[in-house]
């Protein structure tokens, strides 16, 4: 991803804001009584991972991570520890195969799918192009979760860019990495039938940012939406 970093110097700030959004989302859901999290597209475990935040606030929280990168798997086995009251597990799988995720014994042993679960897809949807039917994939996962569950999404957008090619997509294309921007309306489709949690669909930098340093980053520097929806 060096080419992306060179062409988009703001990518480090975007990564920081993504982590802030994730942390705020977990805090929000713990406050709402959620104690189970299914985080798909985990990436390398770092400080402030979902299980760390959730179990610090509610030690009984249970977290299942899903990723298909063998490097992530190796790190996860070494680093993903849990509290005595809670549990943390890792599944080697791909978002494109939701039935494999849902049928994995480690998920079934760690999470109680009769109780609310937070499905977290942060930093992954832009790697699922439209022809791979991301809305269907997300819908399949949500269909397996009970009422009271939540969907947490983050998605890059070009809504605030000047018309024309953008650095991130161009750099990813040269690196052979698929990259799919989506408009606000396209992003909103993922939440069809769900109740949006205030403040609804917002730029990551503006999502519950009342206490954050001002001024906030320019929309063109952030370029990603974040939102949480509740399944009735």
Q: Specify the higher pLDDT residue, 164 or 83.
A: 83
Highest mean pLDDT among 50-59, 82-91, 155-164, 209-218: 50-59
Give SS3 for 166.
coil
* Mean pLDDT over the full length of the chain: 85
Give mean pLDDT, residues 3-29.
76
Q: Which residues contact 72 (CB under 8 A, 6 or more apart)?
A: 42, 43, 44, 45
Instruction: Give the global pTM.
Output: 0.87
Half-sphere exposure of 232 (CA within 13 A, CB side): 6
The helix (H) or strand (E) run that includes residue 195 is: strand 194-196
Peptide bond into 42 cis (omega under 30): no
Dump pLDDT digits (tens) for 97-153. 999 999 999 999 999 999 999 999 999 999 999 999 999 999 999 999 999 999 999
Give mean pLDDT, residues 10-17.
73
Give mean pLDDT, residues 75-103.
84
Say what the pLDDT of residue 169 is: 52
Dump pLDDT digits (tens) for 216-229. 777 777 789 999 99
Say what the pLDDT of residue 200 is: 96
b/e map of 69-107 (b: 16 or more CB within 10 Å)? eeebbebbeeebebbeebbbbbbbbbbeebeebbebebb
What is the distance between the alpha carbons of residues 124 and 128, in angstroms, rounded to a whole number?
7
Q: Specify the higher pLDDT residue, 117 or 86.
A: 117
Q: Looking at the DSSP assignment, which residues form a beta bridge with residue 40?
A: 66
Give the pLDDT band of residue 5 (cuts 50, 70, 90). Answer: very low
Give mean pLDDT, residues 3-18.
63
Say what the pLDDT of residue 150 is: 98
Predicted confidence (pLDDT) at residue 206 exceeds the cutoff of 90: no
Give mean pLDDT, residues 188-211.
92
């Amino acid at each position: 991803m060096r080419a992306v970093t060179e062409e988009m110097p703001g990518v480090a700030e975007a990564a920081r804001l993504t982590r802030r959004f994730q942390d705020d989302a977990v805090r929000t859901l713990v406050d709402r009584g959620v104690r189970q999290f299914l985080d798909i597209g985990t990436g390398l475990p770092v400080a402030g991972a979902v299980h760390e935040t959730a179990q610090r606030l509610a030690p009984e929280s249970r977290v299942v991570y899903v990723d298909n990168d063998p490097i992530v798997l190796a790190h996860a086995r070494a680093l993903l520890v849990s509290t005595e009251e809670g549990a943390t597990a890792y599944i080697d799988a791909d978002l494109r195969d939701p039935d494999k995720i849902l049928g994995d014994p480690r998920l079934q042993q760690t999470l109680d799918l009769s109780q609310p679960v937070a499905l977290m897809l942060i930093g992954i949807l832009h790697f699922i192009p439209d022809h791979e039917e991301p809305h269907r994939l997300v819908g399949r996962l949500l269909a397996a979760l009970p009422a009271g569950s939540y969907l947490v999404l983050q998605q890059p957008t070009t809504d605030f860019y000047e018309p024309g090619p953008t650095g991130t997509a161009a750099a990813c294309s040269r690196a052979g990495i698929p990259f799919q921007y989506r408009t606000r309306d396209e992003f909103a489709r993922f939440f069809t039938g769900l109740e949006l949690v205030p403040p609804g669909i917002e730029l990551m930098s503006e999502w519950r940012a009342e206490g954050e340093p001002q001024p906030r980053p320019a929309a063109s520097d952030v370029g990603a939406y974040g939102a949480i929806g509740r399944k009735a």
